[in-house]
Structure 1
Amino acid sequence: MQPLQLTLRPTVLSDADSCQKLSAAVGWPHRREDWEFALSLGQGFTLSIEDKVVGVGLWWGFGPSHATLGTIIVAPDQQGQGIGKLLMERLIAATEGRTLGLVATPQGEPLYARYGFIAIDEVRQHQGDWPELAAPVLAANEVMRPAAASDLPLLAQLDGEATGLPRTAVLEALLTRGHVILIERNGTPAGFGFLRRHGRGWLIGPVAALDDAAACNLIAALLAARRGDFVRIDVPARTGLGAWLSERGLPLVASGVVMARGAAPAAPGPAHRFALVNQAMG
């Protein structure tokens, strides 16, 4: 019997359907639209056997020196065959010269460690059906308002302060896919938060703000807009928002290890990152 032919090729936008079926097979809730968003902003590879996609891995570049890797999936019936290893090797070759970041599951962490990735942080996934929630409490010098396309430079500035990465293209794409609000103090931007459809319901992120108070007000305002709906948010462990989220009905359901291969980007501040775009893009 002839061995099955394994084909590796670059991903294209039309792979969204195949990628959605693959992610569903491993229990991920991604919709086709979620894959279209990821594919439209990133690059990567698929592995197929007889025209059936059995593996995928993507990367997203942020400037010439940094990138993140994510959505690395191998079909359950093909795991243990070296497909994940092949995908990692191709992704690393494609991003040569860049510092790489990713969020690893406990199962994937040993594989990434073999390629020089080091654990640097933790991401905590909170989700649930949001109960009744009081409106945010703003200080006398604070206002919140919906952001518009014309606010993109302000959003990019705050995001760059919080991440150390140029992510204007991601923010611009998010502006067309969901709702974003800005909080201002004395007329100066103090933070922003995005809300969009994703997976089983709605996802909050990214959120960048000057402090906990601004971040909590932004998150509370976004949640109030989806009262009674399923909502997910991924927060860096160091933000300390875990207890605040759990107390309000979004329990911790999973954690991931943030890993880096090379020097992680230095976030200059004063804004801080309080929620991720998603675990793939950071």
Structure 2
Amino acid sequence: MTTRTARTPGEAARLRPLAEADLPAAQALTAALRWPHRVEDWAFALALGQGLAAEIDGRLAGTAMAWRYGARAGALGFVVVADAAQGRGLGRALTEGVLAFLGERSVTLCATDIGRPLYASLGFAGTGRVHQHGGSSFSAGLVALPPGQRLRPAGRRDTPALAALDARALGVPRDALMRALLPVADGVVLDRDGEAIGFSLIRRFGHGQVIGPVVAPDAAGARALIAHWLGSRPGQFIRIDVPGASGLSPWLEALGVAQVGGGEVMVRGAPPRGDSTRFSFALVSQALG
């Protein structure tokens, strides 16, 4: 990404690549919106993709990031504009800038209500909802598994198998993301007669920990994978972002993991499709998908 000047009303904004040195100021932008992201969460996302910064009078005024998943798909997120810089067209300039990085790929994002009109004007269409759940006052017992199935800890040697399951569920390769997640996450594998058929990860994020991704052949397997983490971390703040179509929200609510937010999944281009034998039941994050 190259440095350029955005033609916006008022003082001109300088668009340039987002750098690691910008992350404390970037985190302050999201904190002002009551987003829970730590500087470490920003750094994890930036290391996997490309970011764009909008600078006005030497100060960070906005950001956007994008991630390539193979040659055909990508994701877009962290589109944030400071209150003082609203109304200058920075959100559009930043989004168009990172879209150029993604090229002709199919692009997925999770839109806030405020951002939805901008993304619609850029060719994105809604495909579903994400439900954000979180809390620390939950109660979850173990979920019984069918004969031949069990949960076991995930190890580094599982990385290729877990990346393959993730790709089957989403229809896009996210090998780099999976390789980055496993060293910073705890994982559990759903095993059937020695074969990995699903998995879930949990890692430090925001105010506590986040469960995701969760990949399973069915909702029963997903509930077992999620309940494992809830049962092993009583009293800790846990977040999980689930597709609305997963059907997991009523179950999570019943356990005490309340729905506290969400967003609309929007796609520009043909939506990626999994292979219909493995399904995504929880996101890595709303930005990364």
Distance 1:217 1:89 in 2: 41
TM-score of the superposed pair, with normalisation by structure 1: 0.96
Deviations 1:170-196 (A, max 9, x none): 111111111011011111112100101
What's the % identity of the aligned pairs? 42
Q: Pairwise CA RMSD of aligned residues?
A: 1.3
Structure 2 stretches lacking a partner, 5+ long: 1-9
Distance 2:179 2:14 in 1: 34
Q: Shift in Å at residue 266 of structure 1?
A: 1.5
Structure 1 stretches lacking a partner, 5+ long: none
Distance 2:20 2:178 in 1: 19
Q: Shift in Å at residue 151 of structure 1?
A: 0.4
Partner of 2:43: 36
- Residue aligned with 1:273, SS: strand
Partner of 2:96: 89
Work out which of the residue numbers 250, 253, 257 in structure 2 matches 1:246. Answer: 253
Query: Which 4+ stretches in 1 moved above 4 angstroms?
Result: none
1:193-208 matches, cutoff 5 A? 193-208=200-215
Once the two structures are overlaid, the 10-residue window that deviates more, 235-244 or 136-145, is: 136-145
Distance 1:162 1:140 in 2: 23
AA matched with 1:114? S
Partner of 1:269: 276
Q: Shift in Å at residue 85 of structure 1?
A: 1.3
Distance 1:172 1:13 in 2: 20
Please tell me whether residue 226 in structure 1 is matched to residue 233 in structure 2: yes
Partner of 2:161: 154
Question: Residues 130 and 157 (structure 1 numbering): CA distance in 2 closer, same or farther, change over 3 Å?
Answer: farther
Distance 1:5 1:120 in 2: 35
Once the two structures are overlaid, the 10-residue window that deviates more, 110-119 or 84-93, is: 84-93
Distance 2:41 2:171 in 1: 25
Deviations 1:24-43 (A, max 9, x none): 12211100110110111010
Q: Is the 8 A contact 1:130 1:231 kept in 2?
A: no
Deviations 1:215-241 (A, max 9, x none): 000000011222101111000111100
Once the two structures are overlaid, the 10-residue window that deviates more, 114-123 or 88-97, is: 88-97
Q: Shift in Å at residue 79 of structure 1?
A: 1.1
TM-score of the superposed pair, with normalisation by structure 2: 0.94
Distance 2:167 2:276 in 1: 8
Distance 1:143 1:130 in 2: 27
Partner of 1:133: 140
AA matched with 2:267? A
- Residue aligned with 2:202, SS: strand
AA matched with 2:116? E
Deviations 1:59-83 (A, max 9, x none): 0000011111001000112111211
Distance 2:118 2:147 in 1: 51
